[in-house]
Amino acid sequence: MSETVTIILFILSAVFIAAGCHAFINRYFLASFVAACAIVVGIQVASYIELGYIDPFWHIASVTGFFMASIIALIVGVPFKIKRKVKHEDI
């Protein structure tokens, strides 16, 4: 796959996973952390399926991916946090 397609798939999967986590978990930072971990695991599993073996630099990719996924999860969670603040559901 080209790098552009890979980045687009990463961003789209990160947005959908983060939205799902924020929809089910009320705490903003906990949902962002869980989403970032789930995104990294999902990307590593997809990488394993595509390559057929574990990437030799999986630990570097996981740390880097975690930071990118955390930023995406924090941004995606803002509308959920605003909605919960308005409805007074935030813990």
Burial class (CB in 10 A: 0-12, 13-18, 19+), 27: middle
Please state the pTM of the whole predicted model. 0.86
27-76 pLDDT, tens digit each: 999 999 999 999 999 989 988 998 899 989 999 999 999 999 999 999 99
For the chain, domain boundaries: 3-87
The angle at the Cα of 52, spanning 19 to 60, to the nearest 5 degrees, equals: 60
pLDDT (tens digit per residue) in 10-36:
899 999 999 999 999 999 999 999 999
Residues 6+ apart with CB under 8 A from 81: 28, 90
